[in-house]
Amino acid sequence: MNTVGDGAFRRDDLYGRSNDMGFSGALSFLRRKYTRDLTGVDVAVTGIPFDSATSNRPGARFGPRGIRAASTEVASLDGFPFNFNPFDHLSVVDYGDVWLDYGYPQNLVEKVEKHADTILKQGTSLLSFGGDHFVTYPLLRSHHKIHGPISLIHFDAHSDTWDDDGERLDHGSMFLRAAREGIIVPEKSVQIGIRTQNNSTHGFNILHAPWIHTHGVQEVNKFIHDIVKSSDPVYITFDVDCLDPAFAPGTGTPVVGGLSTAQALPILHSLGDLNLIGMDIVEVAPAYDHAEITALAAATIGHDYLCLLAQKKGAQARSIGTKLDEKQSGNTKV
C-alpha cells in the first residue's frame, strides 16, 4: 500500500497494515478501511451506540468511538503472542455504526437486527461494539437465523438473566429472554467472571470470579471445552465489567473482585479451536475511563479475537495448499 495517511478512507486494499501514525489519522478500528462494500470481506466491524437500557451510569453510547480511538497503537505491530499480522490472512473492514434515532428506543431491536442481517447474509461475520449489553439481544437474533441455536460464551460480572416481561429494554435480562426463545442453549453456554447474586442459574454453566481466582486460567479453559464442542456455533459476548475496575474503570456497572486482563486474554485465546460465529464487546463508557485503560482493553480483546479468526483461516489455507501439493506431486493417498 503506497497511500500515506488516513488509510481508513484512502486505502484501496483490504489486506495488510496501514501506515498511519499512531497519534493521527481517521479513527477506524485498527485502521481498517471504512466501507459498506462487503465483497471479499471476512469480518465487518460495526458500532451500536445505544445505552438507554443501562441500569446505572450511562455513557456506553460513546463506546464504539472510544474503542476505535484506543485501537490505533494496537494496529501498529504484529499480534502478540500470535507472532503474525492478522491482516495478512483476514480481510476486515470498519462498516461504521448502525444508525439509531435516540427518540425511538423501542425501535432498537428491529434496527440492529436488520443491520446485522444485511451483513451476515452476505457471508461476512461480525465484530460489534456497544453500547450497553442489551444490544447483544438483537445481534443474537440475527445470528440465530443463520446458525440455529447458539452456545454463548459470556464474560461479565452479571448473569444478565434476571426476569422481565419480555418487552423491557434492560441490559440485565436479555439472556434469559434469548434462552426462552431458543436462540441460545444454556446447557451449552458458559458465563465467566460472574460476581453478583442471582438465585437461579437458569441452566447456564457459571464460573464465578472467585472460582477463577482460586483454580486458574487452565481450569477455566478445560471447563469451557468440556461444555462447548467444536461443532457448536459459538458467539462470544464480552462485557468489560467482567474485568475488575482496576483494569476497566470506564464502565456503567463496575463490580470489584473481577478478572484482570492477564486472566481474560488467555481465556479468550484458548477459544480459537471452537466454531466462532461472532463477537461483541460492550459497556465501554469512556467518560468514566482513566488514560483509556478500559478502551485499550476492549480494543485489544477485539484485535485478539480477529487474530483467532486469522489464525484459523491461515491454517485452513495451509492445509488446502498442502493437499493440492500432494495431489500435484502424486502423493495423495487413496
Q: What is the CATH number of the domain that holds 61?
A: 3.40.800.10
Is residue 152 very low, low, confident or very high in pLDDT (cuts 50, 70, 90)? very high
pLDDT of residue 324: 42
Whole-angstrom Cα distance, residue 88 to residue 82? 13
Whole-angstrom Cα distance, residue 224 to residue 229? 9
Inside any domain, residue 57: yes
Is residue 27 very low, low, confident or very high in pLDDT (cuts 50, 70, 90)? confident
Task: Give the bridge partners for 250, in sequence order.
Answer: none
Is residue 334 very low, low, confident or very high in pLDDT (cuts 50, 70, 90)? very low
The predicted model gives 40-69 an average pLDDT of 96
Inside any domain, residue 311: yes
> For residue range 76-115, what is the model confidence (pLDDT) as tens digits?
889 999 999 999 999 999 999 999 998 999 999 999 999 9
Identify the three-state secondary structure at position 243.
strand
Task: Give the bridge partners for 243, in sequence order.
Answer: 259
Q: Are 129 and 142 in contact (CB under 8 A)?
A: no
Quick check: 13 pLDDT over 50? yes
- Selection from 162, 174, 171, 155 nearest residue 247 by Cα: 155
**In sequence order, which residues have a C-beta less than 8 Å from that of residue 75 and are 6 or more positions away?**
17, 18, 30, 31, 303
The predicted model gives 187-202 an average pLDDT of 95
pLDDT of residue 22: 67
- 41 or 102, which is more confident? 41
> For residue range 267-322, what is the model confidence (pLDDT) as tens digits?
999 999 999 999 999 999 999 999 999 999 999 999 999 999 999 998 776 654 55
pLDDT of residue 333: 40
pLDDT of residue 26: 76
Inside any domain, residue 16: no
CA distances from 167 to 55, 134, 174, 284 (A): 16, 12, 10, 24
pLDDT of residue 172: 87
Report the chain's mean pLDDT, rounded to a whole number: 91
Q: Are 239 and 155 in contact (CB under 8 A)?
A: yes
DSSP 98: P
The boundaries of the domain holding residue 69 are 29-321
Lowest-confidence segment of 185-189, 217-221, 328-332 by average pLDDT: 328-332
Whole-angstrom Cα distance, residue 207 to residue 220? 8
Task: Give the bridge partners for 208, in sequence order.
Answer: 194
pLDDT of residue 18: 72
b/e map 7-30, b = 16+ CB within 10 Å: bbebbeebeebbebeeeebbbbbb
Inside any domain, residue 54: yes
Inside any domain, residue 38: yes
Give me the number of domains the chain comprises: 1
Please report, to the nearest 10 degrees, the dihedral formed by the alpha carbons of residues 57, 69, 241, 227 taken in order: 140
CB neighbours of residue 115 within 10 Å? 22
Lowest-confidence segment of 66-75, 154-163, 200-209, 308-317 by average pLDDT: 308-317
Distance of alpha carbon 47 from the chain centroid: 11
Q: Are 7 and 33 in contact (CB under 8 A)?
A: yes
Inside any domain, residue 4: no
- Grid coordinates given for 288: 468514566
pLDDT of residue 332: 44
Quick check: 164 pLDDT over 50? yes
Inside any domain, residue 110: yes
Lowest-confidence segment of 5-14, 75-84, 259-268 by average pLDDT: 5-14
Quick check: 327 pLDDT over 70? no
pTM given for the model = 0.90
Q: Which helix (H) or strand (E) holds 212?
A: helix 209-215
Lowest-confidence segment of 27-31, 131-135, 241-245, 323-327 by average pLDDT: 323-327
Inside any domain, residue 11: no
- 121 or 21, which is more confident? 121
